[in-house]
């Protein structure tokens, strides 16, 4: 765990432009303007029965990553799941954006949500931080009110506990 905290101390300042000696994030929070956009993203995804993606803007306050802006990408040319990796890579980069959020609406056995990032998701996350040379923030909406977020970068990951939005 100490190695993970050291990685976070190195990676997080790159993500948010903070002082490396500052506190390590122990959580994340969606601000008032971001929360309704997340619910709209989920509803749009559920209605279309296809995954959707949005760009995330965030900063660090104390020990919390605060996500203050969420802007959905237009669905257009995409893979079979409705996701365009190229669009998210081209659009959701620094300095305005710190990563992406996307939906998983499919259910395991028709009952339980896929609540983990897939291998394909991790591939896009890796492409993001390689392209922009900084760690990124990535969130996954897997139900109408549940989310998991991670910071991913060249030095490793900071995984936050599951939460509600």
* pLDDT tens string 21-67: 445 688 999 999 999 999 999 999 999 999 999 999 999 888 899 99
Residue 36 CA to residue 107 CA, distance in Å, equals 23
d(CA 137, CA 14): 11
pTM: 0.82
pLDDT of 78 higher than 50? no
14 within 8 A of 153, measured Cβ to Cβ: yes
Domain boundaries, the chain: 2-164
What is the pLDDT, as a whole number, of residue 76? 62
Q: Is 124 helix (H, G, I), strand (E, B) or coil?
A: helix
Element (H, E) at 136: strand 136-141
* Residue range 2-164, CATH number: 3.40.140
- pLDDT, tens digit (0-9, with 9 covering 90-100), for 82-92: 556 888 999 99
pLDDT, tens digit, 9 for 90 and up, residues 79-126: 445 556 888 999 999 999 999 999 999 888 888 899 999 999 999 999
């Amino acid at each position: 765990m100490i190695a993970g905290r050291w990685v976070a101390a190195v990676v997080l300042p790159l993500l948010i432009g903070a002082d490396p000696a500052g506190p390590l994030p122990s959580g994340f929070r969606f601000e008032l303007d971001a929360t309704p956009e997340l619910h709209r993203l989920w509803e749009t995804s559920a209605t279309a029965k296809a995954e959707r993606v949005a760009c995330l803007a965030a900063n660090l306050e104390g020990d919390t990553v605060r996500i203050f802006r969420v802007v959905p990408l237009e669905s257009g040319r995409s893979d079979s799941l409705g996701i365009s990796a190229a669009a998210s890579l081209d659009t959701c980069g620094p300095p305005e954006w710190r990563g992406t959020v996307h939906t998983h609406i499919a259910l395991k056995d028709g009952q339980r949500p896929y609540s983990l990032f897939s291998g394909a998701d991790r591939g896009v996350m890796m492409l993001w931080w390689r392209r922009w040379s900084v760690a990124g923030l990535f969130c996954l909406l897997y139900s109408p009110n549940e989310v998991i977020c991670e910071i991913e970068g060249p030095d490793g990951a900071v995984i936050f506990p599951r939460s509600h939005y």
